[in-house]
Each structure stands twice: as structure tokens, then as C-alpha cells.
Amino acid sequence: MKITQIITHHLTHKLEKPFESASMRFTSRDHLLLEIHCDNGLIGWGECLGNRIVNDAFIQAMTPLLIGKNALDIEPIWLMLYNTFRDQGQRGATINAISGIDIALWDLAGKFHQCPTYQLMGGAFRTRIPAYATGGFRIIGEDRIESLVKEISGYKKQGFEAVKIKIGFGVNLDVAAIKAVRQCLGENIELMIDANHGYDHIDAARVANQVADCDILWFEEPVVPEALSSYNKLRTTQPIPLAGGETWHSRWGINEALKQNTVDILQPDVCGVGGLSEARKILTLCDIYGVRCVPHVWGTSIALAASLHFHAIIPPSPPSPGSGSPRFEFDQTHNPFRSSIVTVPFELDNGHLNVPDGHGLGIEIIREELAKFAPQQ
């Protein structure tokens, strides 16, 4: 099954209501998809996390190396691409591009063998994943507390049993927001906070200690991802479990972070950590270092599908009756690409998402929708 062509698709959608995290402002939703064609007619789909223009440049640079290769040689292809670019590309867009290619190859493998991708990766521990709502970004031009509580009330009515909100907008405002959200949710809905590396370790500790009575499940990306020593300091200066990893790349980057005792919960993103191949290896690191794996998810239906297959193969840790499934991050911000580009959109089912059971990733792309959202020249 030889690779004959690789095609990238840029998607963009302007937001009526821009929103922001502590690290960036969103005025549009932008994503890069890719399809790999083979000489037997099969097509595999992948997606890259991050800047679509930069990622596409790396895909174009890698394409000549892939033409003619056997698409089932997933591990040899991964190593060949990484080794070719490793001197200047051990993290960032290089790994994002490899991630998208790797996901597409796993999609192709499932289609070739006529089974779900998770089956080829060793089998599923679960095929229904409990979801949590990601939202709580700051809406430009609206009162922070009022708009946040209104949004979170909606997630509560939808039946979500866990919610994550964005912070990093100032210690006092964040503390007030977290307390207001906890009051809105009541005691039985889990609450997580995500600073998108908006603090140094001093202010992160100030926030965490002031909301210690709000029963926070985890504190995500409190500091910049390079500051591994700051993560380590926060383990002893505040009481909330720390989470991170969406911007750590490959098994080597993850290993260094875990070796320095940075987080309690690791959050690799399959579209940015190195694809499904690398994500599977990182599960072994989680076992060795004794951290939970609760993946980060951000993107289109392709990212959702690939992430669901990854969630399916995460082993219970420990393997006991009391070990539950890691929750699936179900982004609730406005994004038409979550539903419009596939024939069967992902929908919440009694608080859960179902892992696709078709061949490969188990999704069918609507090409007309891709064309509709292509950037205008």
C-alpha cells in the first residue's frame, strides 16, 4: 500500500464573539487537516495542533520523503521523519506535522485491516468515555463573572458532570470567578482550572491557596511549559493537583518533565505530541512515573476521533474496580468543525462520548464542508 499523494486542507471560521485565554486571543477558529492517498484507493485523515500555516510548511517539506513509502510502515516512517528533522525540530511544529501524518497512517491501517484503529493499537479498555466541558474563556467586551456564570449554568443544564474554566486574568479576578463558578455548580460537579501558563509560580500559588476550599480537581498549566522547576515548586507551595503537557512534545520531552516531578496529571495531545504512535509510548511513561493520563483535546472532528481512540487504549491505573476512565475534554467554544465536516457528528450521550467503531478512525469527511471553510485568497 504505497503512498501516492498528501493533500492539506486549511480551515478558518471568523468568530462573532472573540474570546481569550491568558496566552492568546481567538478571533477565528483555524485548523490544518491532511489526507494521505495510497495506490489502492484508500485515504487516511489526520490533523495537526497549532498554527495551520507553519504546520503546512512542515508537511510540504516532509511530503517528498513519504511518496512511495508503504503506509503500513507506521513506526519506520515516524522514526525516519523525526530523525530527518530532529536537529532543529525536537518540539513544536515539526512534531505537530509528524502527529498529523501519524494519525492519518493509523486511519489508513484501520481501513486496510477493516477494523477500528484502537483495535490495532492493542484493544479498548472502554468504548464510552465520560466527557467534561471545556469553556470559561474570557469573552471580549462582557463582564467576566456574569458571562462566566451564565455559560457554566448552561453546561450544568446539559448534564456535564465536570467543567473546566480558564483563568490567568489576575489573581483577584480569578479567585472571584472560581468561587462564583463553584457556587453555581454546587458540590457534586467536578471543577478544573486552566491558567494557560498565565502566571509565575508565586501568583499561581496565591490563586490556588485562596481557592483550596473549592474542591478543584486539577490546576492546569499554571506556569509556562519550559519552567519545569516552577512546576516542581508549586507541588509544595499549594494543595491542588497539577496538570500539564499539551505543549510538551515527544516521549523525550515528556520524560524530562516527569523526571523533574512536575505534574500529577499528564495531558498529551495526540495532534501535537507525535501522533497516536508516540502517545501510546507515553502511556508507559505515565505508568513508570505514577501519573494519571488525561489527554488534551482541541480541534476538529478528526482530532476528536483520534483522541477518542487514544482514550480507549489508556489502561486503568491501577487495574482495580475503583479505577475510572479518564474524562474526555469536550471543547464547548464555538467551532463549526466539531460537527459540520463529518457525516456523523460527535454528540454527548448521557454525559459520555462513544468511540467510533468503524474502520480506521471511523469517520467520513464531507468534502463540500472543507471547501466552504477554506480561507479566501
Between vectors from CA 354 to CA 247 and to CA 309, what angle results, nearest 5°? Answer: 45
Q: pTM for this one?
A: 0.97
361: which residues sit within 8 A by CB, 6+ positions away?
45, 103, 106, 107, 110, 117, 302, 305, 306, 309
The pLDDT tens digits of the residues spanning 295-325 come to 999 999 999 999 999 999 999 988 888 888 8
- Compute the distance between CA of residue 339 and CA of residue 343 in angstroms, rounded to an integer: 8
- In this structure, what are the phi and psi dihedrals at residue 305, rounded to the nearest 5 degrees? -65, -50
pLDDT number for residue 302: 98
Same CATH topology for 3-115 and 119-354: the answer is no
Q: Per the structure block, which three cell numbers stand in for 371?
A: 471547501
Residue 173 vs residues 170, 179, 236, 277: alpha-carbon distances, Å = 5, 10, 24, 41
pLDDT number for residue 161: 96
Just list the catalytic residues: 296
- Compute the distance between CA of residue 349 and CA of residue 159 in angstroms, rounded to an integer: 10
- Compute the distance between CA of residue 100 and CA of residue 273 in angstroms, rounded to an integer: 10
119-354 CATH fold: TIM Barrel (3.20.20)
Residues of the chain with pLDDT under 70: 377
**Cα atoms in the Cβ-side hemisphere of radius 13 Å centred on 18:** 8
- Compute the distance between CA of residue 303 and CA of residue 338 in angstroms, rounded to an integer: 9
End-to-end CA gap in the chain: 35
Contact 234, 226 (CB under 8 A): no
Task: Indicate the CATH number for domain 3-115.
Answer: 3.30.390.10
* Residue 74 neighbours by CB distance under 10 Å: 19
Cis peptide before 241 (omega within 30 of 0): no
- Compute the distance between CA of residue 185 and CA of residue 159 in angstroms, rounded to an integer: 11
Q: Can you give the residue ranges of every domain in the chain?
A: 3-115, 119-354
pLDDT number for residue 155: 96
pLDDT number for residue 243: 98
Indicate the angle between helix axes 93-113 and 301-313, nearest 10 degrees. Answer: 70
Residue 279 vs residues 117, 121, 314, 316: alpha-carbon distances, Å = 14, 11, 10, 16
